[in-house]
Amino acid sequence: MSSPKAIILGCEGTALTEIERQFFTEHQPLGFILFARNIESPDQTKALVEDLRSCVGHSPAPVLIDQEGGRVTRLPESHWRKPPAGAVFGELYKTSPQKALRAMYLNYRLIAHDLHELGIDVDCAPLLDTRVETADEIIGDRAFSTDPNVVIELGRGVIAGLHKGGVLSVIKHIPTHGPAEADSHLEMPVVDWSLEQLHSHFEVFHAHRTAPWAMTAHIVYSAIDPDLPGTYSSKVIQVIIRDVIGFDGFLISDDLGMKALSESWAERAQFALEAGCDCVLHCSGNMEEMRQVIEGVSPLSAKAQARLDRGYQQVRLQSIDSQETLAEYNSLMDLRKAS
């Protein structure tokens, strides 16, 4: 069996079109990512996940989602609990660290329960960017705290909750999006901090360096590589992410469709993979874009495949009573409201 292509793709709607099915079958992407546009109900979502996987001839074929809570929630409230933003747990941590840690764990244990039932096996969380008050609000209340040590502790709860629920975690945005004063969805942020200033942000990711997956940031870090964003920079990936931070898991790019990047679709994929990303991410589901981006994608490397396989070994599904878990979680959050 040939290697899958080193790309994760989105689809346009709540069911695959015949054109999408043919494209995925022909090009064999590693996996897929879902957004709110793809999700209406549990049965429909499970059917879509199964249909996506049926297009490819390899296993595992990861299916991703961004289910952080707050502003970044893809499962609609009509069928699923809406988790709070990360900053809620950071606030609770100020007065009750142990309750905050337990609540965070239970929150993501419940998220993992929802995702696992749908067949989704990768959640793009935790967001480990330390909040910087002068930064753009694209991170904002998604961040747990302005204190790197709090981010480290709460991040552990996220990862444990997901992994025990049968879902892989993705630490993001490595090496940090925290100081960026622009939104990389709209333009290229440039962070002019010194390496010394960046150190505490890197330390958060270093503390989670054994996580199975990580996602890059489309940000220029002037002290490391003034010419290229992290996703395209071998200096950022090989020197900072791999060596200084010590992350040796499966590294994916942030969405290649973000406006921080301006190269051709094929070049975006090519440059990210050449710099050291194991896999690239294209989210829009736009068929014309996918036809172009796939031209810059190579097969998944043997080293990337080994990292992918190693990551799945971290997941240990344990059954829970979801109602009991939710009741305990709600009691902890009620205590937060009363404090």
What confidence tens digit (pLDDT) does each residue in 258-277 have? 999 999 999 999 999 999 99
Which residues make Cβ contacts (< 8 Å) with residue 179, sequence separation at least 6? 132, 134, 135, 191, 193, 197, 198, 201
Beta bridge pairs of residue 170: 213
- Cα(212)–Cα(310) distance, rounded to whole angstroms? 7
Query: Any idea what DSSP says for residue 2?
Result: P
**Local confidence band at 116 (pLDDT 50, 70, 90 cut-offs):** very high
How does 96-120 read in b/e, with b if 16+ C-beta sit within 10 Å?
beebbbbbbbbbbbbbbbbbbebeb
| Prediction pTM value | 0.96
What is residue 2's predicted lDDT score, i.e. its pLDDT?
A: 73
What is residue 1's predicted lDDT score, i.e. its pLDDT?
A: 57
Model pLDDT for residues 11-26, shown as the tens digit of each residue: 999 999 999 999 999 9
Is it the case that residue 198 has pLDDT exceeding 60?
A: yes
Q: Which of 215, 221, 219 is nearest to 197 (CA)?
A: 221
Backbone torsions φ then ψ of 314, nearest 5 degrees: -80, -15
Report residue 220 as tokens.
């220029």
Sole residue written with tokens 């705290």? 145
- Cα(30)–Cα(237) distance, rounded to whole angstroms? 21
- Arithmetic mean of pLDDT, 174-185: 95
Model pLDDT for residues 288-323, shown as the tens digit of each residue: 999 999 999 999 999 999 999 999 999 999 999 999
- Cα(331)–Cα(313) distance, rounded to whole angstroms? 33
Helix (H, G, I), strand (E, B) or coil at 61: coil
Is it the case that residue 339 has pLDDT exceeding 70?
A: no
Q: Which amino acid is at 64?
A: L
Looking at 254, 255, 278, 282, which residue is catalytic? Answer: 254
What is residue 251's predicted lDDT score, i.e. its pLDDT?
A: 98
Model pLDDT for residues 205-216, shown as the tens digit of each residue: 999 999 999 999
Query: Any idea what DSSP says for residue 68?
Result: -
What is residue 336's predicted lDDT score, i.e. its pLDDT?
A: 52
Q: Which amino acid is at 242?
A: R
What is residue 262's predicted lDDT score, i.e. its pLDDT?
A: 97
- The Cβ-side half-sphere exposure at 147, using a 13 Å CA radius, reads 10
Share of the chain above pLDDT 70, in %: 98
Is it the case that residue 338 has pLDDT exceeding 50?
A: no
- Cα(10)–Cα(258) distance, rounded to whole angstroms? 14
| Burial class of residue 59 (count of CB atoms within 10 Å of its CB; 0-12, 13-18, 19+) | exposed
- Arithmetic mean of pLDDT, 96-105: 97
Q: Is-cis flag, bond preceding 76, omega within 30?
A: no
What is residue 337's predicted lDDT score, i.e. its pLDDT?
A: 56
254 is catalytic: yes
Looking at 58, 79, 116, 185, which residue is catalytic? Answer: 185
Domains of the chain by residue range = 5-338
185 is catalytic: yes
What is residue 334's predicted lDDT score, i.e. its pLDDT?
A: 84
Model pLDDT for residues 29-63, shown as the tens digit of each residue: 999 999 999 999 999 999 999 999 999 999 999 99
Sole residue written with tokens 């991170």? 139
- Cα(281)–Cα(213) distance, rounded to whole angstroms? 13
Instruction: Kindly report the CATH number that applies to the domain delimited by 5-338.
Output: 3.20.20.300
